[in-house]
Amino acid sequence: MHIEVLDLIPTYLRCRARQAWAEYEQAYPQLFRHYNRYWAGDDFPYTDLAPHEAKRRAGMIHARLPAIQQALQAAFPQGDHVKVALFVGKGTSNGHAFWDEERRAYVVWLPVEAYTTFLQVDVFVTHEILHALQYAHQPELYFTNERQMKRVGRQVVTEGFATYGTMQVLGCDEITALWADYVPPEFGHAWYGQCRRRESELVTRILHEWNTSSQDNPWFTMWDETDVSRYRGGYYVGLRVFQELVRRHQADLATMLTWKARELETRVREILTRLAG
Q: What is the pLDDT of residues 71-108, one digit of tens each?
A: 999 999 988 999 999 999 999 999 999 999 999 999 99
pLDDT, residue 115, reads 98
Distances in Å between the Cα of 73 and the Cα atoms of 125, 170, 173, 194, 242 are 15, 12, 20, 35, 20
Helix boundaries (H) for 76-227? 118-120, 126-137, 146-149, 152-170, 174-179, 185-197, 199-208
**204 and 154 assigned to the same domain:** yes
Residues 173, 83 share a domain: no
pLDDT per residue over 255-272, tens digit each?
Answer: 999 999 999 999 999 999
Same domain, 115 and 242: no
* CA atoms within a 13 Å half-sphere pointing along the CA-CB vector of 8: 25
pTM of the complete model: 0.98
One domain for residues 92 and 45 = yes
Residues 85 and 177 in one domain: no
**Which of 137, 156, 172 is the endpoint of a domain?**
137
Q: How confident is the model at residue 1 (pLDDT cuts 50, 70, 90)?
A: confident
Sheet containing 81-87: which strands, arranged edge to edge?
A: 2-7, 81-87, 105-111, 96-100
Q: What is the pLDDT of residues 166-212, one digit of tens each?
A: 999 999 999 999 999 999 999 999 999 999 999 999 999 999 999 99
Note whether 132 and 59 are same-domain residues: yes
Domain that holds residue 187: 146-276
Q: Is the pLDDT of residue 277 over 90?
A: no
pLDDT of residue 78: 84
Final residue before a domain boundary, out of 137, 171, 189: 137
Check whether residue 191 and residue 155 sit in a common domain: yes
Q: Which of 85, 120, 137 is the last residue of a domain?
A: 137
- Domain match, 130 and 222 both: no
According to DSSP, residue 45 is labeled P
* Residue 6 sits in the same domain as residue 129: yes
With CA atoms as reference, report the closest residue to 99 among 163, 8, 152, 30: 30
pLDDT of residue 195: 98
Cα distance between residue 12 and residue 19, in whole Å? 9
Distance CA 234, CA 157 (A): 10
SS3 78: coil
Q: Is the pLDDT of residue 248 over 90?
A: yes
Which ranges constitute the DSSP H helices of the chain? 9-18, 21-26, 29-38, 51-75, 118-120, 126-137, 146-149, 152-170, 174-179, 185-197, 199-208, 233-249, 253-256, 261-276
* Residue-level pLDDT at 79: 84
Q: What percent of the chain has pLDDT over 90?
A: 98
Domains identified in the chain, total number: 2
Is the same domain home to 118 and 207? no
Same domain, 122 and 157: no
Do residues 221 and 266 share a domain?
yes
Whole-number pLDDT of residue 132: 98
**Predicted local distance difference test score (pLDDT) of residue 251:** 95
